[in-house]
Structure 1
Amino acid sequence: MHHQRRDRPVSPLRPPSLSPRPGLRIKSPDQLVAESGADLEGHGLKRTMGLFQLVCFGVGAIVGTGIFVGLSDTVAEAGPAVVLSFVLAAITCIFTAFSFAELGGAIPVSGSSYSFAYATLGERIAFLVGWCLLLEYGVSVSAVAVGWSQYVNELLNSLVGWHLPAALSAGPGDGGVINLPAIVVIMMAATLLVRGIRESAGATAAMAVLKIGILIAFCAIAFTAFEAGNLTPFVTHGPAGVTAGASLAFFSYIGFDAITTAGEEVKNPRRNIPIAILICIGVATLLYCAVALTAIGALGADAVSDKPAALSLIVDQVTGSTVGGGIIAFGAVVAIASVVLAVMYGQTRILMSMSRDGLVPRVFERVSPRTATPVANTWIVAAVFAVPAAFASLDVVVNLTTIGTLGIMVAVNVAVIALRRRNPGLKRSFRVPLYPLSPILGVIFCLYLMYGTGWATWVQFAVFLAAGAAVYAGYSRSRSRLAGADQD
């Protein structure tokens, strides 16, 4: 027997899509866009980035530590078949990139996957997505800064034949005491970010063009020593090696979704965000496959694996001089610094969106009227993530960052399906092809790469999610601004 339900009267100020149950609080896309455009306290973000700057920002966020530092670890897992690992990781990214492109064009706000989840899957899932973004954007800043430190030493060696003391250039896990260069690059990025997005975007564009040029130059130099025999046997460690390599190679693509965090500072975001995402994935994949093929073809997989600054070492051996390796090291220093800049930008914008919703303290949403940037937010992020950069090892966080990012991408692919069902008439400047097959394949590929990270990483990830759930239950749920709306 069915009973007639008596609905509560809906306040004209309360969005009709809100659910009174905390875990199912959902914000409509229109509400998210309206709130992001509101000029809170007289000063908000400004739209200053065009398509070229946005593409450079995306390349700046993607191309860095993964190829300059992480290539050696990926080759150790997959051998010459590392190219297949990069392609498998790219396919995973492409399906998810389609989803990000649709959502970024439909909901052009700074919150990226956090806001997408809020509009489709509810507040509790949105908070856990934002919690995982602390891994993708925040912890990866620390990992990237550690990689920057390695190439700073390589550059100093090429220029003046001198290294920084191990005690001051590595954390305790790597035989040192404190990693000062890692702290320096984070603080440099924060200084540039608080000056303004126009200055940050200009610097990122210049660094992106430079590092693409450096990687192309590396391919040209390495190709002069290319020997096809170095690529055989191709699948050295079997399909399992390719899968494990793809899970590591995925770290090289982390950051492309940072493009969607610029939703409130991009001109014509509904058009430019989807285009920029797809261009960046294509550019990164071509670069990675070319660098991996020429590197292994020049010296063989054994010479590339387990070498922290492998690209510089390869150029040194091919040319018989330290000059070429010094140039590559300089390119890596610039490339990795641009990743720190772009990823820190993304983290601050995520926290700004969460702060607007009341899920984290309000200090993160305050924007300076002079620079139109979240100054306090930026310095807090820099200070917090300088600590693991100074004392942690790169290897400790790579797998955990990867699985957290893949978990976010599962949520984004599901969000596309949920938004199509919930808001079929919403304006979309881009639609995923072969819907719903594309987002479903995105989920499957993400879960497959998550499997490849190993059981120990799954345990760490489960503990991390449990901690996030506890923070939400103990702090964020009661302070949510939607909770206040439910009580009005």
Structure 2
Amino acid sequence: MTRPSLAAQLLRRRTIGMLVAEAGTSSEGPGTLGRHLSMIQLAMISVGATLGTGILALLAEQIPHAGPGIWMSVLLAAIPALLSALSYAEMAGAVPVSGSSYSYAYVTLGEGVAWVVGWCLVLEYGVSVAAVAAGAGQYVDETLAIFDLSLPTAIASDPSAEGGVFNLSAFLLVILAMVLLLRGVREAAWINTVLVLLKIVVLLFFAAVAFTAFRIDHFSGMFDTFFPGVTGAAAVLFFSYIGFDAASTAGEEARNPTRDLPRAILLGMGLVTVIYVVVAVAAIGAREASWFRENGLVTVLAEVTGQPWFGVVFSLGALIAFASIVLTVLYGQTRILLTMSRDGLVPRVLGRISPRTQTPVVGTLIVGIVIAVAAGVVPLGELANATSIGTFAAFTVVNIAVIVLRYRRPELPRTYRVPLFPVIPVLGALTCLALMSQLSASTWIAFACWMVVGAVIYLGYGRRHSRVGALAEAKYRAALVEA
């Protein structure tokens, strides 16, 4: 059989009908994913993948730069994320499969862009899980130190730290998440919901304690450092919102995807934004901005209450936050690869679903073990920073996909429509491109190396095994007409 030219194949699109039919979404049975997730559980996946690392690691660090206007930085950072979230909500309702932005790119812009987005998501999700797990290892060390305990240096950190050999805490956290996902998405979703509720309680507990020391004079002059303080901090804090798209990877496991996915994405974004603003206002109300040059959020609790054990509560809350992020992002990674395997762009074994648990068991095992080992032994360095470019690229494509699909398929049923079309998706795409341009040269180099690897894999495997690439020209044209 003669395949299309490379240029022609890169432009070939999947139709929504193809994706839905191949996913087996019309009915459940052996080899299909089970529809177990409610709207609340979907929203908790978005919140679980988003809420935690940013607010715990970045907020206190940025307060000295933004001053008392840090709460405005949090709101400004939410704007570009919200613009893209609106586009994700429309696409999730219109294309109810597990591929997230990869699938949205495939049905609108073709196989070439879809592969680039899918490869970006492999980087974003995989490295993010490993990096977050490694960060959790640091909180394990800090929590043990409170009780005058510690792990041996050799198993407390990866080889990038002096004396480190293997980050056992990071490894075990990923393995635990993998085991939960292997048991089935229903159990994993309930556990994630509990973890998310616990970390929300911890953050609100911090705010409640901090508000007991609230002083309005700490907010004086909050507009004095708007440029560049507040705006500069907003650019950094944007990364606190990355992860809201995780619910879009659950398109085949939602009970009512076209209705619930848009709601879950927007509810998750709204909840995260409100919590971030409340924590920021509470922090600056309790202590002046300059105080945070040498102190963090945990110290606020200890000083306000005079009780060191409050720091233990906060540290445990941080561990819960990290665990929830690892669980939800690892879930998203396995579902992205499952969808790519169905299209033939990665080995089919990654999409093999167990009839008993209705999960991609082999893919989850492979991905979980690889990421666990990476979290334990690999200093991620610039590759972790390169996930930012991958995230922005995916967001940009989704904003463009909304525009393309609106004009190409105006009659397509949509349970949610982006308001002020096409202004919102255009602004969303431009904002992401502007943020990408601010990243360092070394980050771009690391990302370029990753994309070269992706190009080699596509040319060596994906192009030859692509299902849409295998269609004869006449059959491909007929499929587009039927769609």
Q: TM-score, normalised by structure 1?
A: 0.89
Change beyond 3 A, Cα 1:71–1:390 = farther
Partner of 2:56: 68
How much has 1:187 moved relative to structure 2?
A: 0.4
Report the Cα distance in structure 1 between the residues aligned to 2:70 and 2:158, rounded to whole angstroms. 29
**Which of the residues 250, 262, 277 maps onto 1:289?**
277
Whether 2:220 is the aligned partner of 1:203: answer: no
Whether 2:389 is the aligned partner of 1:409: answer: no
Partner of 1:420: 406
Whether 2:117 is the aligned partner of 1:129: answer: yes
Partner of 1:299: 287
Partner of 1:178: 166
Report the Cα distance in structure 1 between the residues aligned to 2:290 and 2:370, rounded to whole angstroms. 37
How much has 1:87 moved relative to structure 2?
A: 1.8
Change beyond 3 A, Cα 1:184–1:335 = same
Whether 2:374 is the aligned partner of 1:382: answer: no
Partner of 2:443: 457
Partner of 1:12: none
Partner of 1:273: 261
Partner of 1:363: 349
Is the 8 Å Cα contact of residues 247 and 452 (structure 1) preserved in structure 2? no
How much has 1:384 moved relative to structure 2?
A: 1.6
Amino acid at match of 1:37: G
Residue deviations 1:315-336 (CA, integer Å, cap 9, x gap): 1222222211111111111121
Amino acid at match of 1:161: D
Secondary structure class of the residue paired with 1:265: coil
Amino acid at match of 1:188: L
Partner of 2:10: 23
How large is the RMSD of aligned CA atoms in angstroms?
A: 2.5
Partner of 2:480: none
Comparing 344-353 and 207-216, the one that deviates more = 207-216
How much has 1:76 moved relative to structure 2?
A: 5.8
Amino acid at match of 1:46: G
Report the Cα distance in structure 2 between the residues aligned to 1:357 and 1:165, rounded to whole angstroms. 46
How much has 1:162 moved relative to structure 2?
A: 1.9
Alignment of 1:20-419 (within 5 A): 21-37=8-24, 42-75=30-63, 78-158=66-146, 160-175=147-162, 176-231=164-219, 234=222, 239-304=227-292, 310-392=296-378, 396-419=382-405
Partner of 2:481: none
Is the 8 Å Cα contact of residues 247 and 402 (structure 1) preserved in structure 2? no
Amino acid at match of 2:361: V
Change beyond 3 A, Cα 1:396–1:304 = farther
Change beyond 3 A, Cα 1:65–1:395 = farther
Is the 8 Å Cα contact of residues 244 and 452 (structure 1) preserved in structure 2? no
How much has 1:423 moved relative to structure 2?
A: 1.4
Amino acid at match of 2:16: P
Is the 8 Å Cα contact of residues 117 and 129 (structure 1) preserved in structure 2? yes
Structure 1: unaligned runs, 5 residues or longer: 1-17
Q: TM-score, normalised by structure 2?
A: 0.90
Report the Cα distance in structure 2 between the residues aligned to 1:450 and 1:290, rounded to whole angstroms. 28
**Which of the residues 461, 475, 478 maps onto 1:475?**
461
Residue deviations 1:111-144 (CA, integer Å, cap 9, x gap): 0000000000100110110111022211110111
Comparing 291-300 and 184-193, the one that deviates more = 291-300
Amino acid at match of 2:391: T
Whether 2:426 is the aligned partner of 1:446: answer: no
Is the 8 Å Cα contact of residues 28 and 34 (structure 2) preserved in structure 1? no
How much has 1:264 moved relative to structure 2?
A: 0.4
Is the 8 Å Cα contact of residues 383 and 446 (structure 2) preserved in structure 1? no
Change beyond 3 A, Cα 1:185–1:77 = farther
Residue deviations 1:338-373 (CA, integer Å, cap 9, x gap): 110000000000000000001011110001111111
Residue deviations 1:137-177 (CA, integer Å, cap 9, x gap): 1111011112211222232233x232334432222334433
Report the Cα distance in structure 1 between the residues aligned to 2:204 and 2:405, rounded to whole angstroms. 40
Report the Cα distance in structure 2 between the residues aligned to 1:306 and 1:49, rounded to whole angstroms. 43
How much has 1:416 moved relative to structure 2?
A: 0.5
Report the Cα distance in structure 2 between the residues aligned to 1:363 and 1:303, rounded to whole angstroms. 53
Partner of 2:472: 486
Amino acid at match of 1:471: I
Secondary structure class of the residue paired with 1:140: helix
Structure 2: unaligned runs, 5 residues or longer: 476-483
Change beyond 3 A, Cα 1:152–1:19 = same
Amino acid at match of 2:280: A
Report the Cα distance in structure 2 between the residues aligned to 1:242 and 1:182, rounded to whole angstroms. 34
Amino acid at match of 2:348: R
Report the Cα distance in structure 2 between the residues aligned to 1:454 and 1:148, rounded to whole angstroms. 26
Change beyond 3 A, Cα 1:221–1:132 = same
Secondary structure class of the residue paired with 2:420: coil
Report the Cα distance in structure 2 between the residues aligned to 1:386 and 1:80, rounded to whole angstroms. 40
How much has 1:229 moved relative to structure 2?
A: 4.8
Report the Cα distance in structure 2 between the residues aligned to 1:93 and 1:20, rounded to whole angstroms. 33
Amino acid at match of 1:318: V
Aligned length: 468
How much has 1:403 moved relative to structure 2?
A: 2.1
Residue deviations 1:432-469 (CA, integer Å, cap 9, x gap): 00000010010121122223333332333333333323
How much has 1:383 moved relative to structure 2?
A: 1.7
Amino acid at match of 1:43: G
Partner of 1:9: none
Change beyond 3 A, Cα 1:400–1:229 = farther
How much has 1:95 moved relative to structure 2?
A: 0.9
Change beyond 3 A, Cα 1:146–1:73 = farther
Change beyond 3 A, Cα 1:424–1:198 = same
Secondary structure class of the residue paired with 1:477: helix
Is the 8 Å Cα contact of residues 143 and 393 (structure 1) preserved in structure 2? no
Comparing 373-382 and 18-27, the one that deviates more = 18-27
Identity %: 47
Report the Cα distance in structure 1 between the residues aligned to 2:65 and 2:105, rounded to whole angstroms. 34
How much has 1:430 moved relative to structure 2?
A: 0.5
